[in-house]
Amino acid sequence: MSAPDQVAGDPTRPVLQVVGLRKSYDGRHYALDGVDLDVYAGEVVAVLGPSGSGKSTLVRCIDQLESIEGGAMYLDGELLGYEKHRDHIRPLTDADIARQRRRMSMVFQQFNLFPHWTVLRNITEAPIKVHGVPPAEARARAMELLGRVGLADKARAHPRQLSGGQQQRVAIARAVATQPRILLFDEPTSSLDPELVDEVLQVMKSLAESGMTMIVVTHELEFARDVADRCIFMADGVVIEDRPSADFFSDPRSTRLQGFLKRATENRAREVEA
Ligand SMILES: Nc1ncnc2c1ncn2[C@@H]1O[C@H](COP(=O)(O)OP(=O)(O)O)[C@@H](O)[C@H]1O
Ligand SMILES: [Mg+2]
């Protein structure tokens, strides 16, 4: 484990480190019960597991949308959410937490675009207002990103005029526009009609190929196998397996993961037949 005061940009140090993370919503049951996870620059890590296993809680804790009960997280070696003060640890101020959160982006299942803003403004707002990017530069960058997600002609449209798949691609462009150190996805295709899933996965794949560091909570097993470098399997708030993607699927070690993959494959076969 590296100290929080190490210099940034060290390739041997993970972009994100999660150490012994614990989270409880009610003080009795732990939604996360000691999670360790290292993510290195350019890595894509898929998070799989049954419903209720703690996948959303994990990415929400990393993005500091939730308080934590134990453990620690580091972004580029910097302790998240807390600081050392004399001989103890104290919570950071809201302003310092906001500063740390600017260095990551999250893509949610429900897009969360602002309905009254154009696509362009949805993408440029944070770079201009939060990151201090000059408006002309932010707009040029947004147009380039819209081109990359295949929506250059939708800059002036409003979210309601777009399909779910198009809205999610805008949400991804918005997440990338702030040049985050890491991009977090929480089931980005789960609310989409089946025929719109692939266009979003394609955009995520091209982002992965461009070297973006990503954590992707997903049920899309093919995407996890083909695009992710590593897959982690969670159950009951703990990481049961953390393996290179090929091994994860071809040689699952735990009976829980074996059962999960078997059921997922059977469900998939049933869908294809239907
Ligand atoms: N806001 C919340 N309040 C109380 N319990 C929650 C909340 N969010 C999640 N939980 C509980 O935490 C556990 C993990 O949930 P979650 O992280 O949403 O799992 P997953 O994303 O893998 O389906 C579950 O037992 C769930 O019921
Ligand atoms: Mg979830």
**In this structure, which ligand is nearest to the CA of 232?**
1
Tell me how many degrees the CA angle 143-199-247 measures, rounded to the nearest 5. 120
> Taking the model in full, what pTM does it have?
0.94
Domain assignment present for 109: no
Total structural domains in the chain?
Answer: 2
The verdict on the CB of residue 127 being under 6 Å from ligand 1 is no
Quote the CA–CA distance of 48 and 22 in Å, as a whole number.
18
Q: Angle between the 119-129 and 164-177 helix axes, to the nearest 10 degrees?
A: 20
- Atom number, ligand 1, closest to the C-alpha of residue 54: 17
Question: Is 156 within 8 Å of 119 (Cβ atoms)?
Answer: yes
Residue with CA at minimum distance from ligand 1 atom 27: 52
- Atom number, ligand 1, closest to the C-alpha of residue 26: 4
Q: Which of 161, 179, 197 marks a domain boundary?
A: 179
Choosing from 24, 25, 63, 109 the residue with most ligand 1 atoms within 8 A of its CB, the one to mutate for a pocket test is 25
Q: Are residues 38 and 147 in the same domain?
A: no
**272: amino acid identity, one letter:** V
The verdict on the CB of residue 186 being under 6 Å from ligand 1 is no
Q: Which of 163, 179, 195 marks a domain boundary?
A: 179
The verdict on the CB of residue 27 being under 6 Å from ligand 1 is no
Domain that holds residue 121: 114-179
- Digit-coded pLDDT (tens) for 190-233: 999 999 999 999 999 999 999 999 999 999 999 999 999 999 99
CATH number at residue 92: 3.40.50.300
Q: Are residues 152 and 190 in the same domain?
A: no
What count of residues does the chain have? 274
Q: Which of 151, 179, 207 marks a domain boundary?
A: 179
- Determine the distance separating the centroid of ligand 2 and the alpha carbon of 58, expressed in angstroms: 9
Domain assignment present for 45: yes
The verdict on the CB of residue 218 being under 6 Å from ligand 1 is no
Quote the CA–CA distance of 154 and 198 in Å, as a whole number.
19
The verdict on the CB of residue 65 being under 6 Å from ligand 1 is no
Q: Are residues 129 and 169 in the same domain?
A: yes
Q: Are residues 2 and 132 in the same domain?
A: no
- Determine the distance separating the centroid of ligand 1 and the alpha carbon of 238, expressed in angstroms: 13
Q: Which residues contact 153 (CB under 8 A, 6 or more apart)?
A: none
**259: amino acid identity, one letter:** G
- Digit-coded pLDDT (tens) for 152-189: 999 999 999 999 999 999 999 999 999 999 999 999 99
Q: What is the pLDDT of residue 2?
A: 41
> Backbone dihedral region of 232: left (phi > 0), alpha (psi from -120 to 50 degrees) or beta?
beta
Quote the CA–CA distance of 90 and 109 in Å, as a whole number.
33
Q: Are residues 200 and 217 in the same domain?
A: yes
Domain assignment present for 26: yes
For 36, the token pair is 């360790």
- Digit-coded pLDDT (tens) for 15-66: 999 999 999 999 999 999 999 999 999 999 999 999 999 999 999 999 999 9
- Determine the distance separating the centroid of ligand 2 and the alpha carbon of 3, expressed in angstroms: 31
Q: Are residues 20 and 148 in the same domain?
A: no
- Determine the distance separating the centroid of ligand 2 and the alpha carbon of 111, expressed in angstroms: 14
- Digit-coded pLDDT (tens) for 93-110: 999 999 999 999 999 999
Q: Are residues 159 and 265 in the same domain?
A: no
- Going by pLDDT thresholds of 50, 70 and 90, the confidence category of residue 273 is confident
Q: Are residues 174 and 220 in the same domain?
A: no
Domain assignment present for 108: no
